[in-house]
Structure 1
Amino acid sequence: MIGRLTGLLLEKQPPWMVVDVHGVGYELEASMNTFVALPAPGEQVSLYTHLTIRDDAHLLYGFGREHERALFRALIKVNGVGPKLALAILSGMDEDAFMRCIRDDDSKALTKLPGVGKKTAERLIIEMRDRFPEWEHGNDAPLALEATSGRAAPRDHLADAEAALVSLGYKLTEATKMLADVDPNQTTEALIKAALTKRMSG
């Protein structure tokens, strides 16, 4: 099991990144909460990881906080929630917001997340309430992540942000609407975060 990686960030294209560790490039997928805190390519990064082994692929997921990884691992134990949906949930809200939804039985907020319908939201509330002890007391110290400002063209940023939202499970029309009133003069990661915040508060 690969539990943690420290190396050079070679590429980042939400929700994917490549980290070079002693000449080996590891491809990881991450939530938008982790992505917005990544340094620029060419800088050092350290991530907690989770490896999922399938018949057709070995998939590696990266997390800036151990607490986020612990929640991811608890989520994928819920019936009907796989890694893709777990990442979408972690991209749409942070751990504290998710905890509030569970404790307040707020299924309405959960259904704003892509792929989470009413039944899934109710299942999350029931099953995750019993799983709080597994992750809520985890180490929440972030690893070596730093937010940076990029300089790519706004149009490229918007296209990348739209593609990332679609990869998280939003429909193209939803992604376009989420980005409609967002300031385009931001990094891709910042645009995604703003769009997700707008979606959850709408």
Structure 2
Amino acid sequence: MIASVRGPVVDIALDHVVIDCAGVGYRVLVTPATVASVRRGEEATLLTSMIVREDSMTLYGFTEADARALFTLLQTVTGVGPRLAMATLAVLEPDALRRALAGSDVKALTAVPGIGKRVAERLVVELRDKVEMPGTAAGAGGPVAVAGSVADQVSEALVGLGFTAAPADKAVTAILAETPDADASTVLRKSLALLGKTA
């Protein structure tokens, strides 16, 4: 089990980073907030959760143990796998997620793509007693250090999260029409929330 990786960041995308560890590049799936916290060429340390399947081994990375713990906790609920757990943390920061669970806020949870009312209610019932109400919300990250078209990057990331291209493109276009100067991380977060409402 790979519990963490440390080394220079050699590549950054909207949904993952590649970290060079002693000459081996580890592709680690991360949230937009984590992407915003690293810079290409600089050393980074990510706590990781390794998911092993018959046909793949996938690393999910986090800057804080708190987020990794929530990622693991979410997957204890029937119907929630690693991708949905990651999408949840992409839409809701750890403190916001704790508030939603502890406060039985089904509406906030259904803003996550792939979480309907039934799954949201199951999350609340099974996890509300396992989380503590946070004191303050975590601060937002800085701009995402990626190159290329924001629309293309966000659409690609949404497809990587399991959405089909047409709805993904439509959501990104709608968000950029409202906030044309938004960075990729913001557009991805708002697109995920929009797709969650229209799913």
TM category (shorter chain) comes to: 0.7 to 0.9
* CA RMSD, Structure 1 to Structure 2 (Å): 2.7
C-alpha change, 1:7 and 1:125, in structure 2 (3 Å) is: same
Could you say which residue in structure 2 is the equivalent of 1:54?
53
Q: Which runs of 5+ in 2 are unaligned?
A: 135-140
Structure 1 residue 195: Cα displacement: 4.6
C-alpha change, 1:178 and 1:25, in structure 2 (3 Å) is: same
Q: Check whether the contact 2:19–2:25 (CA below 8 A) recurs between aligned residues.
A: yes
Structure 1 residue 152: Cα displacement: 3.8
TM-score where L is the length of structure 2: 0.82
Structure 1 residue 35: Cα displacement: 1.6
Structure 1 residue 43: Cα displacement: 1.3
**Residues of 2 paired with 1:52 and 1:151: CA distance?**
26
Could you say which residue in structure 2 is the equivalent of 1:174?
171
**Residues of 2 paired with 1:200 and 1:37: CA distance?**
25
Quick one: percent identity of the two aligned structures? 34
Q: Which runs of 5+ in 1 are unaligned?
A: 138-145
List per-residue Cα deviations over 1:69-126 (Å, max 9, x = no partner). 0000101111100000000000001011111111221111111110000101001111
Match of 1:191, as an amino acid? Answer: V
Structure 1 residue 37: Cα displacement: 1.6
Q: Check whether the contact 2:113–2:195 (CA below 8 A) recurs between aligned residues.
A: no
C-alpha change, 1:128 and 1:122, in structure 2 (3 Å) is: same
Q: How many residues align?
A: 188
Structure 1 residue 132: Cα displacement: 2.1
SS of the residue corresponding to residue 96 of structure 1 reads helix
Structure 1 residue 29: Cα displacement: 0.5
Query: Please, which of 152, 160, 174 is the counterpart of residue 159 of structure 1?
Result: 152
TM-score where L is the length of structure 1: 0.81
Could you say which residue in structure 2 is the equivalent of 1:142?
none
Q: Show the 5 A alignment for 1:40-51.
A: 41-51=40-50
**Residues of 1 paired with 2:115 and 2:88: CA distance?**
8
